[in-house]
Amino acid sequence: MALFFYIQILFHVLGGIAGFLFEQHGEKANRVTHGLAVLAGVAGIVFSLGVLLTGKPWALELEGSFPVGALRLSADPFSAFFLLVISFLSLAASIFAIGYTREYQKRKNIALLGFFYNFFILAMLFVVTVQNAFYFLLFWELMSLASYFLVVFEHEKPEARSAGTLYLIMTHVGTAFITAAFLLLYIHAGSFSFDAFRAAAGTLSPALKNVVFLAVLIGFGTKAGVIPLHIWLPQAHPQAPSHVSALMSGVMIKTAVYGLLVFLFNFLGEMPGWWGHVILAVAILSTLLGILYALMENDLKRLLAFSSIENMGIILLGVGMALVFKTLHQPLYAGFALIAALYHVINHAIFKGLLFLGAGSVLSGTHTRNMEGLGGLIRKMPWTAVFFLVGAMAIAALPPLNGFVSEWLTFIALLLGCEGASPAMRFFSPLLAALLGLAGALAATCFVKAFGISFLGKPRSEHAAHAHEASGSMKTGMGVLAVSCFGLALAAPWIVPVLGKAAKSLSGADIPMTALTQKAFLMSPSGTSQFSPLLIVLVLSVFLLGTVILLRLTFGRKHVRIGPSWDCGMPGLEPRMQYTATGYSKPLRRIFSFLYQPTRRVELDDESHAMLRTAQRFESKITHHVDEWVYKPLSELVADLSRKAKQIQTGHIQLYLSYIFITLILLLLFFGGRS
């Protein structure tokens, strides 16, 4: 099986380089660089499934004298799970990219795009397999830089440059905290090796553990895009090419979950109870605010980006409950909560990848992301509409799709907090479950808006009126993910035991699968709840079939007469008579006005007479409190300090030499005094 991992690495390296051989021929460069990425994805799926299903770990250590320790790669079932997620989504995204990137060929360097794309995936593969802190940070930085260059690929756009700059700043702030955590462990363990960190976990002082926990929560939380560290995510993800957006949202931010879990379950040993409570607080804040902000967005890709914040919150709800149960010495419940988190990791990767690819298809066919300029696309782009609808239903947690399964597991994990947990969790667990239910309802509303405004009704612009369907490779990439949304739901009783292996290899706790699965049923470990995805499909199929038969028996073979839509007696329906994206979300904007604090601006042109109004312009904005209260004052402070520091740059060489002279004198006095 190890051979397939080597093949995957080789194909990504070749895919990154081979495109430059055809730099003057964009189509050939496109096919080579993304075709090799497709083959790499296939090899990665075979390798990771082999480790996951057999449970046999794999390791490789490069011999040699390295001052920071040997370069060791390893894949146990936990690492293999993340390898599978990365490989599968990169496979679908690479197939999609073959058709999608054709629009760049006449104006952009496709070979350069392929170079950063392949090495971006390659870096993520190394991040989840490397077993040394120094090399982890090296590949983490490579992942960040490669994704930065993909975000600013269309650097001629000011918004792309701005988003890239913000992303670069925030990702390096996060890396600084992760580096600090690793250095603290290195000082204590005397080595950068992950094995040394694990061995020293039991000897860490409580104060050091707390400092490391807060550092990794900020560091990995920044990459995950949780609130209040999220500001880069809704800016950067929409600016990248759509197949890259799918990978950034689907798997890159999940590498932060991988890193956080490794620290919590491997490096820090026994933990205080408040750690789980802190993660739960961050999780529910991200879940609610993420979807509430997504609801107000009219940019299709920004809406999806904010929705990723919500889903990262759902994943962290599972992680937080796993920590709570671990500190309460309830390994079965902790394992169940961890399985729920891992299940949502792969589910979110699949349906969010599908939605971003669908948004990319819309962008390719209409050249706009603004939902106010879309509409009626179901007629022009029927395949894209079907695939996007599947993704929208999955992310809204509707059965029988995969989002329903992992959110059900998370919901049960929250309710388990009422059974034998601490008094505080008996109160907060049902409250968190209720808030998760509210977030689910808001998510359904959000994606009714996204699908309805974009694909139904009449075209609202020339862009939508002249839209065209996606190419064959783009439809294939979306189709693979759409089918997977059904497969991950129907096969849930057999997927949970596989995820149990991943959870066991991480936490070391033995999780009895008989308490969680029984034939085609998923079970709550307390025995209070169960459901079968296959049974749900059977019931829905019988209901739909019965409805069709009833209609046929009632109306027979009568011809259906198709007439125009009811237009209230008007001469004809116009696109401007339809619901707009802004109008659809206005009731929620009013309900949650205490949070949004919306501002409006209305301009009227009436030629000095109210009855002769010729034009009306309406603009509404909501307030992002974290931006206004935290990052805006911080940026102003940095700018102010920079202006003051700039005063020392006078342009006189004599003054600069005096700075050097004074610095040397101070250094001599400091070190001379110490000697």
Is residue 420 predicted with pLDDT exceeding 70?
Answer: no
Is residue 173 predicted with pLDDT exceeding 90?
Answer: yes
> Within the chain, how many helices (H) and strands (E) appear?
27, 7
Asked if 346 and 529 touch (Cβ cutoff 8 Å), the reply is no
Among 25-29, 411-415, 464-468, the range scoring the smallest mean pLDDT is 25-29
Digit-coded pLDDT (tens) for 82-96: 999 999 999 999 999
Beta-ladder partners of 299: 370
- The separation between CA 492 and the C-alpha centre of its own chain, rounded to angstroms, equals 22
Per-residue pLDDT averaged across 571-585, rounded?
Answer: 81
Which strand (E) or helix (H) includes residue 620? strand 615-621
Per-residue pLDDT averaged across 635-660, rounded?
Answer: 80
Percent of the chain with pLDDT over 90: 61
pTM: predicted TM-score of the whole model, two decimal places = 0.92
- pLDDT band at residue 432 using 50, 70 and 90 as cut-offs: very high
Is residue 24 predicted with pLDDT exceeding 80?
Answer: no
Percent of the chain with pLDDT over 70: 96
- pLDDT band at residue 380 using 50, 70 and 90 as cut-offs: very high
* Amino acid residing at 73: L
Distance CA 493, CA 522 (A): 6
Query: What is the pLDDT, as a whole number, of residue 302?
Result: 94
Spatial neighbors of 432 by CB under 8 A, at least 6 apart, are: 280, 284, 317, 414, 417
Query: What is the pLDDT, as a whole number, of residue 26?
Result: 75
Tokens of 185: 């462990």
Digit-coded pLDDT (tens) for 359-372: 999 999 999 999 99
572 DSSP assignment: S
The per-residue b/e assignment along 370-386, b for 16 or more CB within 10 angstroms, e otherwise, is bbebbbbbbebbebbbb
Half-sphere exposure of residue 86, counting CA atoms within 13 Å on the CB side? 35
Digit-coded pLDDT (tens) for 114-148: 999 999 999 999 999 999 999 999 999 999 999 99
358 vs 273: which has the higher pLDDT:
358
Query: What is the pLDDT, as a whole number, of residue 303?
Result: 95
Distance CA 353, CA 360 (A): 10
